Structure 1
Amino acid sequence: MSLTIGAIVDQIFGESAPFLLRAYDGSSSSNVSAPVVLHLKTERGLRYLVSAPGELGVVRAYVQGDLDIDGLDEGDPYDLIDQLKDALAVRVPKPRKVTEILASLGPRMFIPPELPELENPPGWRRLAEGLRHSKSRDAQAISHHYDVSNAFYELVLGPSMAYTCACYPRADASLEEAQAHKFDLVCRKLGLQPGMRLLDVGCGWGGMVRHAVQHYGVRAIGVTLSGEQAAYGQQWIARDGLADRAQIRHSDYRDVTESDFDAISSIGLTEHIGVKNYPGYFAFLHERLADGGRLLNHSITRPSTAHGSIMRGGFINRYVFPDGELAPVGTIITAMADQGFEIRHTEDLREHYARTCRAWARNLSTNYDAAVAEAGRSTARVWGLYLAGSSLGFARNEIQLHQVLGQKVGPGGAAAYPLRPRFED
């Protein structure tokens, strides 16, 4: 006699699993008092779960609408992820039960359905786009994430359009205050003064460029691989009357030919360039600086080398940041130092990023209907998972956010720097 889907779930997760699953075959798992109720609506959903057991299969079924969750705030599923993340321990059934489960499912259930449209295929299937971190493939990866829709990003990010970790000056500070404080902190660490020249690589919609030009009197160039971001940022600069001192280029940072910049900001770009490319990346930025110039590198990091670097195969790699790579801050510091930078300061802002992601998730939840209308429900569901899961990761110290300040030392060790710098007001 074949097992029902509900009975199979009991065999794998136990009858006291922290969720109740109701399946399309009319069966349910056993824990009727569970705080979470899942609805598996289709055979396709079951095939996603069986052919990719774990995170990826669940995401595929959920994104495609084959798996629903009672009472879920799709824009901000933080509480659900926090509740289930450690509780979904798979029990290995006895061999006789494994045979019974396999027979009940049948071979068809192990054939993966077509991948969701939003999912990137594994890296080896993307070689037509170029080798990992080639210019062509980097452009495709950035476009996948950042060219969703400027209107969608406005709903999630808010008026600042700043899509990197904010820095909260107070516990009760708003997201907008925290983003402005972050840009100001970067400007102070870089020692910006009127008339200086700033290069902002991976500039997004131009928030850092605008802040530095408006508040510190510099001239600035920002570069981004996203055409949507570049167009938006350049229009913003024109509206603010800054076009004579600022520009946003749709360009790879490797195509910047100017040099002798007084400062370079790299806010949220290092995650995209690949750990093996760190030496070349920091060498390139070192060459672009004048003697005594400073680089502020702001990026997500791993707590240790034990976590690995390349995010292969999981949800973030397939749905959010294709080809993304993270390394511990020590790896970044070593790479910078090896290319001639004197490391002046480093700081971990992971708690700030947990707050930032929570704020973005709340924006998405508040504006969820508009976000669905703009980008589709599948995209909105992906972003809900991504923001909530990222916030939890920072809160649990599974990922971190470091700012590292380096300086290009001139001949004889010349590098103007305060004896005891104060970066706060």
Structure 2
Amino acid sequence: MTAPTSAPAGKGIAPTIASLFPGGLPLWLKAYDGSVAGDQSRPYGVELVSERGLSYIMTAPGDLGLARAYVAGDLVLHGAHPGDPYEAFSLLKDHTDFGIPGPLELIGVLRSLGLSHLIPPPPPPQEHLPAWRHRLEGLRALGKWGRHSQERDADAIQHHYDVSNAFYEHVLGPSMTYTCAVFPTEDATLEEAQDHKYDLVCRKLDLQPGQRLLDIGCGWGGMVRHAAKHYGVQVLGVTLSREQATWAQEEIKRQGLDDLAEVRHSDYREVEEGDFDAVSSIGLTEHIGVDNYPAYFGFMRDKLKPRGRILNHCITRHDNVDRRTGAFIDRYVFPDGELAGSGTIVRAVEDAGLEVQHHENFRVHYAKTLAGWCRNLADNWDACVAETDEGTARVWGLYMAGSRIAFERNEIQLHHVLATKTDDGDSGYPLRHEF
């Protein structure tokens, strides 16, 4: 789309909003009153098309208000595809927090924008505000709906993963793998990189025919099928998403792997079997909660044979400072998600009585993975919207582009931690890594 026509400088909604951002907005802004702010020769801009959008921005300053307006269609992005808004959001990143105006300036802002816009509209339907947020305090005493209880974790997982299997097929591609790929070369395809990731995990776990593997948080069963098909391993995968489990079991049958592979719709904490040769966790730790790390890694330890191995693959912070996830991610993407630094992960693994053998960072690989998913979303935009709705599709474009930027800037990382259940000093591990 072309840039909007000019309006009187310094007057109206757009200049007032732009004045709230420290350093100014790095793209142009047009508002429904015809006002414009910013350099209109820039290739990217946003247009505030309704009063509701202004109310979203005023009642939830920062990324949450902007996200609400964008998801609802009240804030329109120009110059970039909503499925892959990476270039535009690269400019906007770090410019979404309002400055704190002085009292007199604040009065002027409120008069200019209108006090009526301080009444918050209902959030878009894509925002995760389940009943437990309202009744949590009453039920906390009963122990049912506390943070990361089985009921609350199931609710959070279903919000994110039970969107539509067809939607995920369009975005993720044939591998149906929603975790960081590992690119063997710069020009490897996304599918090649996902296959390489699964094979690397199998080699790190030193899987051998006839062994037993437990894959917790198995998603659509990519690791389950790869280990069974290529390594002859008996594999049990568990996921809290019913949609994932149904798809995975159908694919296992289609590939004729029924004798080796199984995916259950289950909380990993409900797995009764034990004596596994290896346990893999690929993309589950983000949903566990830092306070639950001792129980989580203790569960893995207890499921292993002596000298067995675990491989933990998860998103991490670039440091070990304790902080909460941003409001947009918590409300729209991963409710109750928590990240920690890799040092925190390693310490928790060691404190559980496991011996860490290898620790590796795949940060740049996740940026490349997200770029591939955004391309898929943009290329299949109409089909993705048809499967869900336009607001949900916008959420995905926004979150994946923003996550790509965060990985590129080393704000978040992705780590593998490989450990053994060492028994009386015998880890079963070779003198040097063999993977």
TM-score, normalized by the shorter chain, greater than 0.5: yes
Residue 431 of structure 2 is matched in structure 1 by: 419
Structure 2's unaligned 5+ residue stretches are: 1-9
Tell me by how many angstroms 1:204 deviates.
Answer: 0.3
Cα distance 1:92–1:310, how it changes in 2: closer, same or farther (>3 A)?
closer
**Counterpart Cα distance in 2 of 1:225 and 1:89:** 35
**Counterpart Cα distance in 2 of 1:126 and 1:34:** 47
1:3–1:104 Cα contact (<8 Å) kept = no
**Counterpart Cα distance in 2 of 1:14 and 1:389:** 20
Equivalent residue for 1:352, pick from 337, 347, 365: 365
**Counterpart Cα distance in 2 of 1:328 and 1:9:** 36
1:167–1:179 Cα contact (<8 Å) kept = yes
Residue 389 of structure 1 is matched in structure 2 by: 402
**Counterpart Cα distance in 1 of 2:18 and 2:259:** 66
- Structure 2 counterpart SS, 1:401: strand
Residue 183 of structure 1 is matched in structure 2 by: 198
2:61–2:98 Cα contact (<8 Å) kept = no
Amino acid at match of 1:414: D
Written as runs of structure 1 = structure 2, the 5 A alignment for 1:7-406 is 7-13=15-21, 17-29=25-37, 31-87=39-95, 90=98, 92-93=100-101, 95-121=103-129, 124-125=133-134, 127=136, 130-306=145-321, 308-311=322-325, 313-406=326-419
Q: TM-score, normalised by structure 1?
A: 0.94
Deviation string for 1:313-345 (max 9, x for gaps)? 511111000000011111111111111101010
Structure 1's unaligned 5+ residue stretches are: none
Deviation string for 1:220-267 (max 9, x for gaps)? 100000000000000111111111111000000000000100000000
Tell me by how many angstroms 1:92 deviates.
Answer: 4.9
**Counterpart Cα distance in 2 of 1:89 and 1:60:** 14
**Counterpart Cα distance in 1 of 2:84 and 2:410:** 20
Residue 409 of structure 1 is matched in structure 2 by: 422
**Counterpart Cα distance in 1 of 2:38 and 2:121:** 28
Cα distance 1:111–1:318, how it changes in 2: closer, same or farther (>3 A)?
same
Cα distance 1:71–1:11, how it changes in 2: closer, same or farther (>3 A)?
closer
Cα distance 1:286–1:91, how it changes in 2: closer, same or farther (>3 A)?
closer
- Structure 1 counterpart SS, 2:33: coil
- Structure 2 counterpart SS, 1:142: helix
Amino acid at match of 1:237: I
2:62–2:97 Cα contact (<8 Å) kept = no
Q: TM-score, normalised by structure 2?
A: 0.92
Tell me by how many angstroms 1:31 deviates.
Answer: 3.4
- Structure 2 counterpart SS, 1:136: helix
Tell me by how many angstroms 1:26 deviates.
Answer: 2.4
Tell me by how many angstroms 1:99 deviates.
Answer: 1.7
**Counterpart Cα distance in 2 of 1:340 and 1:16:** 51
Deviation string for 1:283-312 (max 9, x for gaps)? 111111000100000000011123x3431x
Residue 7 of structure 2 is matched in structure 1 by: none
Cα distance 1:31–1:301, how it changes in 2: closer, same or farther (>3 A)?
same
Cα distance 1:15–1:344, how it changes in 2: closer, same or farther (>3 A)?
closer
**Counterpart Cα distance in 2 of 1:402 and 1:197:** 24
- Structure 2 counterpart SS, 1:413: coil
Tell me by how many angstroms 1:10 deviates.
Answer: 4.4
1:223–1:253 Cα contact (<8 Å) kept = yes
**Counterpart Cα distance in 1 of 2:82 and 2:255:** 36
- Structure 2 counterpart SS, 1:164: coil
2:80–2:87 Cα contact (<8 Å) kept = no
1:320–1:386 Cα contact (<8 Å) kept = yes
Amino acid at match of 2:350: A
Amino acid at match of 1:152: F
Number of residue equivalences: 419
1:162–1:179 Cα contact (<8 Å) kept = yes
**Counterpart Cα distance in 2 of 1:15 and 1:357:** 29
Amino acid at match of 2:333: V
Residue 3 of structure 2 is matched in structure 1 by: none
2:14–2:36 Cα contact (<8 Å) kept = yes
Deviation string for 1:150-183 (max 9, x for gaps)? 0000000000001111000111100011000000
